[in-house]
Amino acid sequence: MDLTIIERRNTAIGKTIERIRALGKPESAALEQMKAIMSELAARAELFPPEDFPVIPGQSTANYRLAEDAAHGFALFASIVLPGRARPPHNNGTWAVIAGVYGEEQSVRYARSDDGSRPGRGTLRKEGEITVCRGDAIALTPKIFRATNVRGDDPCFQLQLYGTGAGGLPERVCFNDATSGAYKVLRLGRGVGVVTAQQLKAMLHDRAEIALIDVREEGVFAKRHMLLACSAPLSRLEIRMPLLVPRRSARVVICDGNDGFGQVAAGRLNQYGYTDVHLLAGGIEAWAAAGYSLYSGMNVPSKAFGEYVEHRYHTPRMEPQEIKAKIDAGEKVVILDSRPLAEYRRMSIPGGIDCPGAELVYRVHDLTRSPDTLVVVNCAGRTRSIIGAQSLINAGIPNRVVALKNGTMGWHLAGFELARGQDRFAPAPSKAGLAKAKAAAARVAKRFGVRYIDVATVREFAAEMDRRTLYIFDVRSPEEYEAGHLACTVSAPGGQLVQTTDLFAGTRNARILLVDDNGVRATMTASWLIQMGWEEIYVVKDTLTSGPLLKGAAPVEVLGLDRIRCDAISAADLKRALDASDAVVLDFETSLRYRDGHIPSAWLAIRAHLADNLKRVPGAGMLVLASPDGVIARLAAPEAARLTTMPVKVLEGGTEAWRAAGLPLETGLERLADVTEDVWYRPYDRSVKVEEAMKDYLAWETDLARQIERDNDVSFL
C-alpha cells in the first residue's frame, strides 16, 4: 500500500463524512445531495487502487469498512464484486447511497407488492433499472429491493454508505429470484475495517479488548515486528486463531509487511465469522513510518519482562565458572532447569533436574532439605532463569537462590560440556513439601494481590463470553493435564504461559482464569501475569472437583476444516506412486522438522506462498500434499486445485502416518520450493556459527530492557 495514497484517501473520506453528516436527517432532498457528494468521492478512482482491496482466493466478493460513525449512524464500505457475479433481489434494511468507482453493475429495482404477512414468502414489482458506472450514484430507502449483475470483464468497485454503524446493520431480506416469491433473512457482514498506524496506536491504549495479529511467516516476523503483535502466519491462521482469539466478536487488527497477506487473512477471518476485523494500512512499514518502535525476536513482551524483573529486583546471578567450581568442590548445589522436559532433554547442565517455571515453588522443598544448599535456576538463555530464581526468592524459601548467568548457552560458551538426553524430573511434593509450597504461595498471593474466585463466578464470566473474552488455562504439567482435565480448559503450563504469553492469549485486556489442583502453580503464574500488566487475572478455587475430567489432549478447532472435501491417499499407496514416478509431494512441514526427516523426493513448501511454490515443482501424475497431521495439507487442497492441472490428493494421516508405517525418510534441506523463513531458528537450531548466534541472542535479550523503556505500549508493575 502506498502510504501517501492512504493519507489522501483517509482525508477525502473524512471530508465526505463531514459533508454528509451536515445534511442531517436523510430525507429525499438530503439523499439526492448525498448522491452528489458520494459521486465526487467515487470519481477519484486513483484513491482506491485495486491492489489495496483484493478479493481473497476462492471468493467472488470482498467488503472493506472504510469509516464508521456509530454515534451518528454512518458506515462506509468499499465493495468489490468479480465479473459474472449476480445477486438476486435484496434490500439493505436501512437507507443507502451507492456510488461506482470502476466497473459496471446492472441494477434492477423492485418494490414489495405483498403485505408481508407470510414469513419467507412475498411478491415483487419491478420499478426500473440502471447501470452504475464510475461517477454514478443511486440512493436507496429501506423498502427498495434490487437485483444486481456485474457486467463486462472487470471487477465492480463501489463505495456504499449505509445509514447505521457497521455494528448495528439490520437484517436484510433476500429473495431467491424475482418471481418465485421465496426469500430468506440475512445479515450484512461488518466487512474488513482499515486503520492507520495512529488509529491503531490509540486502540492499543483505549483499554478495550484488542488482538493484534501479524500474519507473516514466523521467521519473517522474528526479524521485525510490533511489540504487542502475536504471530499467526497466514499458512496456519485457521489453526492458531481459535486459541489466540476465541471470541469471534473481539476486535482484531491484522498486520503484515504491506505484501497483501493481511488483506487475504482479514477477508478469511471475516468469512469464518470474526465480525470486527481491521487491517493496518501499510503494514509494519506504516507503523515504523509513524515513528513507532519495531522489535526483533520472539515472545518479546515476556523476554523484556524478564530483563525488567532482573533490573527491578536485582535478581542474583552466578557465572558458570563459579557454579562449576562449587560443584567440583563438592559443595551442596541443586540445579533446577526451568524449561519444559523436551527442551531439557535436548541439552542441560550436568546434574540438573527438570522443574519447569511454575513447578519450582511447588516441588523445590523436597529437593532442598538443607537450608545451606545453593539453588541454581537455569534455562537456555536468560528469561526463565531470572523469573524462576525470583519466583523462589519471592516465595521466601530459606536457601540462597541464583540464576545461572545466560543459562545453558552461557555454560556452553564458557567451554563446559552439556548433558543430553537426560530424564531427571523433579518429583511431586511430599505432604510436608506441599504444605510448605502452599504457605509460600500464600505469601506471594498477599504481596501481589492475587485474586481468587469460585466456580459460580466462573459460570458468571462464561455467561458473558459473547462480550468479554475468557481464557481458562490449566497451568499444571502437560502430563497431568492429559491424565485428567476439565473440558473448558486449555493446557498452558505456568512457566511457559509467562514465558510465551503471546502464544496463548492473543486478546489484550481479556479475562484470564488459572486452574490447577491445589492453587500453588496457579498462584505463582498469576503473580507474574499481574506484574506483566494483565489486569483481570483470577485463580479458580477447587476447580478440578467441579466437573468430570477428560483424558488425553484437548480437541483442536480448525477454522473451515469441516467445509473442505478432498481426495486422500494412504501412505502405502503414496509409496507405490512415488516408486512409479507418478506423484510429486509438496510438504508443508516446518523447515526445521523437514530438515530432520521427510518423505523422500518431497518438496518443502509454504502454504501462503503456494502459487509461487508450485511453479518450482515438477509435474507428475498427481500432486500429493503432506503436513505433520494432514491438517494444513487439507486446508491447502482447494487452493492447490485452483492453481494446478494435476489431480490433487492429501496424504491421509499426514507424515505422522508415513512414519508410523515405518516407511523411509530422508534428511536435509534439499528440494526447497521456498526459502526457510517459515519459523524462527534458535541459536542451537543452527548448523553453523552456533556460538556467534548464541552471543547475539544473549546481547539481544539484555538490550530489550533499554529498548522497551522507550515504548509506552506495555506497563510492567
Lowest mean pLDDT among 33-42, 71-80, 371-380, 553-562: 71-80
- What is the CA angle 51-57-62, rounded to 5? 60
pLDDT at 296 over 90: yes
At 213, is the secondary structure helix, strand, or coil?
strand
Interacting residues of 560 by C-beta distance below 8 A, sequence separation 6+: 238, 271, 272, 635
Cα–Cα distance, 51 to 10 (Å, whole number):
17
Q: What is the pLDDT of residue 188?
A: 67
Is residue 680 pLDDT above 80, yes or no? Answer: yes
pLDDT confidence band for 70 (50 / 70 / 90)? low
pLDDT of 69: 74
Best CA proximity match to 191, nearest among 71, 50, 68, 14? 68
Residue 168: the pLDDT is 65
Domains belonging to the chain, first-starting first, are 3-190 (2.60.120.10), 194-298 (3.40.250.10), 564-660 (3.40.250.10)
Which of these, 129, 191, 119, 196, lies nearest to 158 by C-alpha position? 191
Picking from 154-158, 512-516, 666-670, 713-717, which range would have the lowest pLDDT averaged per residue? 713-717
- Is 638's pLDDT higher than 80? yes
Pairing type for strands 277-280 and 192-195 reads: parallel
The 10s digit of each residue's pLDDT in 375-408 is: 999 999 999 999 999 999 999 999 999 999 999 9
pLDDT at 62: 86
Band of the pLDDT at 71, cuts 50, 70, 90?
A: low
Those residues whose C-beta lies under 8 Å from the C-beta of residue 524, and which sit 6 or more positions away, are 358, 360, 361, 362, 391, 395, 441, 444, 494
Contacts of 403 (CB under 8 A, 6+ apart): 310, 315, 316, 317, 318, 376, 377, 378, 382, 385, 386, 388, 389
> Which DSSP helix (H) or strand (E) runs through 146?
strand 144-151
The segment with the largest mean pLDDT, out of 53-67, 257-271, 274-288, 424-438, is 424-438
In 379-523, where do the E strands start and end?
401-404, 451-453, 470-474, 490-491, 507-508, 511-515
CA–CA separation, 237 vs 240, rounded Å? 5
Question: Model pTM?
Answer: 0.90
Check: CB of residue 709 under 8 Å from CB of residue 222.
Answer: no
Grid cell locating 697: 541472542
Lowest mean pLDDT among 20-34, 395-409, 531-545, 676-690: 20-34
**Which grid coordinates are listed for 466?**
459473547
Q: Tell me, what's the pLDDT at 582? A: 96
pLDDT of residue 545: 81
When comparing pLDDT for 415 and 56, which is higher? 415
pLDDT value for 1: 60
Confidence check: pLDDT of 37 > 90: yes
What is the average pLDDT across 339-362? 97
Please state at what angle helix 383-395 crosses helix 431-448, rounded to 10 degrees: 100
| Torsion angles phi and psi, residue 416, rounded to 5 | -95, 150
The CA distance from 657 to 612, in Å, is 28
Quick: pLDDT tens for 506-530: 999 999 999 999 999 999 999 999 9
Amino acid letter for position 652: E
Flag whether pLDDT at 167 surpasses 70.
no
As a whole number of angstroms, the distance between CA 133 and CA 104 comes to 5
**pLDDT of 592 over the 80 cut:** yes
- The set of cell numbers assigned to 220 is 519473517
Neighbours of 311 (CB within 10 A): 13
**Per-residue pLDDT averaged across 61-87, rounded?**
86
Q: Record the cell numbers describing residue 45, joined without a space.
A: 478512482
Per-residue confidence at 5, pLDDT binned at 50, 70, 90?
Answer: confident
Q: Which residues contact 452 (CB under 8 A, 6 or more apart)?
A: 445, 519, 538, 539, 540, 541
The stretch 567-580 carries a mean pLDDT of 97
Are the C-beta atoms of 252 and 276 separated by less than 8 Å? yes
| Percent above pLDDT 70 for the chain | 98
With a cut of 90, say whether residue 25 has pLDDT above it.
Answer: no
